Amino acid sequence: MRHFISQSLIMAELQPQHEVEPQLLNGDDLNEEREDADAPESVKKKRRKKKRNKTAAPVCDFAAGTNEAEGGGEAGGVGDVTKQLELQTLEDKEREEDGEEDGDEGENSAGKKKKKKKKKKGLKGQTDPPSIPICELYPNGDFPKGEECEYPPSKDGRSAAWRTTSEEKRALDRANEEMWSDFRQAAEAHRQVRSFVRSWIKPGMAMIDICEKLEDCSRRLIKENGLKAGLAFPTGCSINHCAAHYTPNAGDPTVLRYDDVCKIDFGTHINGRIIDCAFTVTFNPKYDRLLEAVRDATNTGIRFAGIDVRLCDVGETIQEVMESYEVEIDGKTYQVKPIRNLNGHSIGPYRIHSGKTVPIVKGGEATRMEEGEAYAIETFGSTGRGAVHDDMECSHYMKNFNVGHVPIRLPRAKHLLNVINENFGTLAFCRRWLDRLGESKYLMALKNLCDLGIIDPYPPLCDIKGSYTAQYEHTILLRPTCKEVVSRGDDY
């Protein structure tokens, strides 16, 4: 009796537990569902996995128990396998969903890293003011291309479109990719520097401060490294009637004024591949028409330039466009004149003027442009005589590219030449740059090198006083497949 009671009691205790348990489970499920609605995604995933573990074990145990009870019957075995397959399919689907969510989260978590990498590759990573070198912004070496144009048709009307599809020309283009890449890196540095300069240049600033601020930024972005990368020539900031080759020497008090017309002409280089590019800054809108005339003339020259084009034909088209403009300044009307003794030029490695000139008036050389060459297409417009002469104190100097060995007696001149060879080679430099290197009392030595023909001076070039001159310039590459205006930007 005692045994029977205890047995019945045990059964009674066990029975309610067996009935209540599913209700508790269901209650937990409901609570979890309610919590899932408000829980973050990561918590939801953990709970789903937990739920799968809870439901998976009892089903498998139940299937095993059925097989044992039925003696491993065939029908029961097939049913169990089907259930297991269904369960596995559901689990696989959930895992895939979780995987996608994890992938999304992975993208979100790793996205910042990815974005950072993108920032290194693109302009978005640049600071304000610019300080990150271009080679670090584009670590894969894929620098932005300039404006790619089809070559102009020949005089007999034949199109040059075949160059873009010719496999031979494409192969030649690829063979020179390293050279094009150097030009593009230097051009991107130029674009970012000039954009920076436009953001702060204003009347009242000393010209020497403008040049030094520009050059400091340019050195950072080009990542100056001896003769491998750096500034190609001193910053020209010629004002009004002075058209070119003026940069302030130490102690120059010149200040930029509201009514000035200032030509900003500076260059960058990578491995001697030079970008020569210039623009004009004005604050008074009365000069807008003058700037428009010169910009249009430069773009016309670029448009007509191409492989096998005669240099004199380019000059003729430039003159025609520029002289079609008239400007009114302070109640007086002027026809814009091209400055006939200034011109564009071919560019060689470490050589800013490599032999060919691109005139801006008719009657120049009949020499033709050739495939693979680089040119600076620059035009100067003036309200004066349309011709310039040497004037003012000299600041620009450059070693003669073709000079051989010349005996030098003066020890100071020998030392100065060593400094020039080491820091500038055959690239142009200015007195401010010698000061920056710590050189002093070098004027006599510099004059001696000039007298010997080792160094050439390039004094400022000026039209008549009271006139205004403007300049625009771009560097173009005559690639086998197309013409690339490598220094082209959103500004001009």
Q: Give the model's pLDDT for residue 13.
A: 45
pLDDT digits (tens, 9 = 90+) for 386-415: 999 999 999 999 999 999 899 999 999 999
User: What confidence category does residue 86 fall into, taking pLDDT thresholds of 50, 70 and 90?
Assistant: low
Question: pTM for the whole thing?
Answer: 0.76
pLDDT digits (tens, 9 = 90+) for 226-248: 999 999 999 999 999 999 999 99
Annotated binding site: 245, 265, 276, 345, 353, 378, 473
pLDDT digits (tens, 9 = 90+) for 355-389: 999 999 998 889 999 999 999 999 999 999 999 99
Task: Specify the higher pLDDT residue, 2 or 477.
Answer: 477
Q: Do residues 222 and 186 touch, judged by C-beta distance below 8 A?
A: yes
Burial degree of 37 (CB within 10 A; 0-12, 13-18, 19+): exposed
- Is the pLDDT at 335 greater than 70? The verdict is yes
The mean pLDDT value of the chain amounts to 84
Q: Average pLDDT in the 17-26 region?
A: 41
Residues marked active site are found at 265, 276, 345, 353, 378, 473
Q: Does domain 177-386+466-491 have CATH number 3.90.230.10?
A: yes
Domain boundaries, the chain: 177-386+466-491, 394-458
Which structure tokens are listed for 111? 């996205």
**Residue 394 backbone class (left: φ over 0; alpha: ψ -120 to 50; beta: rest):** beta
User: What confidence category does residue 72 fall into, taking pLDDT thresholds of 50, 70 and 90?
Assistant: very low
- Is the pLDDT at 445 greater than 70? The verdict is yes
Q: Give the model's pLDDT for residue 96.
A: 55
Annotated binding site for a divalent metal cation: 265, 276, 345, 378, 473
- Is the pLDDT at 424 greater than 50? The verdict is yes
User: What confidence category does residue 143 fall into, taking pLDDT thresholds of 50, 70 and 90?
Assistant: very high
Task: Write the secondary structure of the chain as one string of H (helix), E (strand) and C (coil).
Answer: CHHHHHHHHHHHHHHHHHHHHHHHHHHHHHHHHHHHHHCCHHHHHHHHHHHHHHHHHHHHHHHHHHHHHCCCCHHHHHHHHHHHHHHHHHHHHHHHHHHHHHHHHHHHHHHHHHHHHHHHHCHHHCCCCCCCCHHHHCCCCCCCCCEEECCCCCCCCCCCCHHHHCHHHHHHHHHCHHHHHHHHHHHHHHHHHHHHHHHHCCCCCEHHHHHHHHHHHHHHHHCCECCCEEEEEEEEEEECCEEECCCCCCCCCCECCCCCEEEEEEEEEECCEEEEEEEEEECCHHHHHHHHHHHHHHHHHHHHCCCCCEHHHHHHHHHHHHCCCEEEECCEEEECEECCCCCEEEEECCECCCCCEECCCCCCCCCECCCCCEEEEEEEEECCCCCCEECCCCCEEEECCCCCCCCCCCHHHHHHHHHHHHHCCCCCEEHHHHHHCCCCCCHHHHHHHHHCCCEEEECCEECCCCCCEEEEEEEEEECCCCEEECCCCCCC
pLDDT digits (tens, 9 = 90+) for 305-327: 999 999 999 999 999 999 999 99
140: Cβ–Cβ under 8 A, 6 or more apart, which residues?
Answer: 121
User: What confidence category does residue 255 fall into, taking pLDDT thresholds of 50, 70 and 90?
Assistant: very high
User: What confidence category does residue 7 fall into, taking pLDDT thresholds of 50, 70 and 90?
Assistant: very low
Q: Give the model's pLDDT for residue 359.
A: 97
Q: b vs e for 246-260, b when ≥16 Cβ sit within 10 Å of the residue's Cβ?
A: bbbeeebeeebeeeb
Task: Specify the higher pLDDT residue, 471 or 123.
Answer: 471
Which structure tokens are listed for 127? 């600071």
How would CATH label the architecture of 394-458?
Orthogonal Bundle (1.10)
Task: Specify the higher pLDDT residue, 290 or 8.
Answer: 290
394-458 has the same fold as 177-386+466-491: no
Residue holding tokens 């932005």? 144
